[in-house]
Amino acid sequence: MLNLWYKNAVLYCLDVDSFRDSDGDGVGDFRGLADSLDHIEALGATCIWLLPFYPSPNRDNGYDITDYYNVDPRYGTLGDFVEFMQAAQDRGLRVIVDLVVNHTSIDHPWFQASRAGDPKYKDWYVWSKDKPADAESGIVFPGVQKTTWTRDAKRGEYYFHRFYKHQADLNIDNPAVREEIERIMGFWLALGVSGFRIDAVPFLIEGLTEADGSRDPHRYLSEMRQFLAWRKAEAILLAEANIPMDEADDYFGSGDRMNLIFNFPLNQRLFLSLARREAEPVKSMLKSLPDIAHVGQWATFLRNHDEIDLGRLNDEERQEVFAAFGPEKSMQLYDRGIRRRLAPMLGGDRNRLANAFALMLALPGTPVIWSGDEIGMGDNLELKERDAVRTPMQWTAGESGGFSSAARTDLVRLPPANGPYAPLHVNAESQRMVDGALLTTVEHLIRIRRACREIGWGDYEVLDLEAPSVVGLRCRWRGGEVVTLHNLSEHPATVDLTGVVEPDKVRHLIGQETDFAEDGARCVMRLGAYGFDWMRVTG
């Protein structure tokens, strides 16, 4: 019997180094995290996704690993990890971890052995005697990264790195490397994790060839999933794969590959809709999502620990989103994205933020929340590249936001020092017990969402409403039906629901001063500025 727990899960993504520091060294750790799980439990999230916490020189926030079988000493020990896992399990929280096996740090002993020509490791990375002609194409971090092939003086050859030059790509064509990847997955599964967020999946598989020399790189995704099925059937694979929709089938397979894939195209259309305050970009995207195998599911999100990637919008659309949410050059990144958190982009407007969260929770898929966004934290544009959105969790009004007892200047990354998003103004403690605060609102929304299995499990239909600023969805599952409406505009909107629902046959689950009005034979509903309404059809 398949366990599809992830279809109605709510994921909460956090970085151990910036969540809670228990020993006052300015860096978050597993003990601090274990002591702070009440926050995540109260929020209503059901699964934690941990960003990389393995030993690393930290040149790419831990996505440059030097040991896959350990915890970076700055965050604690493996023992602390197990204690944290126990604390999470005690609260019914699942944990998934980042699996970063497209590349390792060049400081990894495997790479060091490979460049020295050690027979065991010499083919663990992608080497070339000459610099390939396409070395300057396919750069992921334009403006920061210059090439994808760098010469290693010791070996006298070039090594391939899809990302920064300190992240050498593993040679996935080598069976020994694939075996090692299984060993890594097996290790963390044995410590109790419920699966993996796989980093950079399209790049991970890009070099794969079959034993007979033919190419079907996606087959490897079935192999990974099979391994999981043998070791821990309920464990999941969540793919970081910014792919066009016509490739979705290759990644989901017939339900035998990835369980979840981040819906990057939908995320970009969502921001276009928010920028225009118009439903159309989201609606047309939802209408064009391909049918996927029932066990597969999209992962939906507002923001994450990277920039918002707007690369799938056309130039004009991208400029519209830049103009609305990242007008200054310092807010933009890699010629394609915005390095800001959600709250400042939406002007700190609590109603607009609640609307965005509600909409994200109403979309077909499994919602993923980036830690700190639930309290409306701001960014720090003085930090480099994507670090701007990775500031420490703001627990209290203190100078260091209650994240650490260390002085502000000793913190792993600096929270905004002043202005409306400084810990003094934005922190979990001041919102925790306050009705209508963003935190308690998001908590409430998550509770309702979890009770609406129609959204997580069922089929959806995009309602053709005339109001241009309203996204209307109807989800059905096992005879149940939920209708959701979200007004993206700062102006009230009137929605004609004649033939969609009957006023005396619905129960409002959440709504903002909304109600039906009779208008002749028509049944209309008025949504306030950024208003939203969720209704269960009672029949």
User: Judged by CB, which is closer to ligand NOJ: 199, or 481?
Assistant: 199
Query: Site for ligand NOJ (CB under 6 A): which residue of 93, 100, 106, 523?
Result: 100
In whole angstroms, what is the distance from residue 148 CA to residue 162 CA? 5
Q: Specify which residues 245 forms β-bridges with.
A: none
In whole angstroms, what is the distance from residue 51 CA to residue 100 CA? 10
Least distance (Å) from ligand NOJ to the CB of residue 162? 8
Least distance (Å) from ligand NOJ to the CB of residue 6? 19
User: Judged by CB, which is closer to ligand NOJ: 243, or 438?
Assistant: 243
For 213-254, the DSSP string reads S---TTHHHHHHHHHHHHH-TT-EEEE-----GGGHHHHHTT
Site for ligand NOJ in 156-175 (CB under 6 A): 163
Per rule CB under 6 A, count of chain residues that contact ligand NOJ: 8
Query: The sheet that has 522-527: what strands, in order across it?
Result: 493-496, 522-527, 515-519
Query: The sheet that has 157-160: what strands, in order across it?
Result: 127-128, 157-160, 149-152
User: Judged by CB, which is closer to ligand NOJ: 166, or 350?
Assistant: 166
CA trace torsion 426, 427, 431, 436 (10° rounding):
30
199 is catalytic: yes
Binding mask 413-442 for ligand NOJ (x = CB under 6 A): ------------------------------
Least distance (Å) from ligand NOJ to the CB of residue 199? 5
Least distance (Å) from ligand NOJ to the CB of residue 369? 16
User: Judged by CB, which is closer to ligand NOJ: 101, or 445?
Assistant: 101
Q: What is the SS3 assignment for 494?
A: strand
In whole angstroms, what is the distance from residue 491 CA to residue 389 CA? 30
User: Judged by CB, which is closer to ligand NOJ: 312, or 474?
Assistant: 312
Binding mask 370-389 for ligand NOJ (x = CB under 6 A): --------------------
Site for ligand NOJ in 107-126 (CB under 6 A): none
Burial class (CB in 10 A: 0-12, 13-18, 19+), 129: exposed
In which residue are the tokens 């969720």 written?
534
Least distance (Å) from ligand NOJ to the CB of residue 70? 18
Q: Which residues contact 489 (CB under 8 A, 6 or more apart)?
A: 277, 278, 469, 529, 530
Query: Site for ligand NOJ (CB under 6 A): which residue of 29, 80, 169, 240?
Result: 240
Given the residues 80, 98, 240, 374, select the one marked as catalytic: 240
Asked if 306 is part of the footprint of ligand NOJ (rule: CB under 6 A), the reply reads yes
452: tokens are 């609406």
User: Judged by CB, which is closer to ligand NOJ: 199, or 373?
Assistant: 199
Minimal CB distance residue for ligand NOJ: 63
User: Judged by CB, which is closer to ligand NOJ: 280, or 306?
Assistant: 306
φ, ψ dihedrals at 16, nearest 5°: -55, -35
Beta strand extents in 27-173 (DSSP E only): 47-50, 94-99, 103-105, 127-128, 149-152, 157-160, 167-169
Least distance (Å) from ligand NOJ to the CB of residue 116? 25
Helix axes 264-276, 315-325, angle to 10 degrees: 60
Query: Site for ligand NOJ (CB under 6 A): which residue of 17, 199, 307, 533?
Result: 199
Least distance (Å) from ligand NOJ to the CB of residue 240? 6
Asked if 60 is part of the footprint of ligand NOJ (rule: CB under 6 A), the reply reads yes
Query: Site for ligand NOJ (CB under 6 A): which residue of 14, 43, 193, 200?
Result: 200
CA trace torsion 346, 312, 305, 3 (10° rounding):
110
State how far Cα 310 lies from the chain centre.
15
Given the residues 17, 21, 29, 199, select the one marked as catalytic: 199
Catalytic residue numbers read 199, 240
Chain residues binding ligand NOJ by CB under 6 A are 60, 63, 100, 163, 199-200, 240, 306
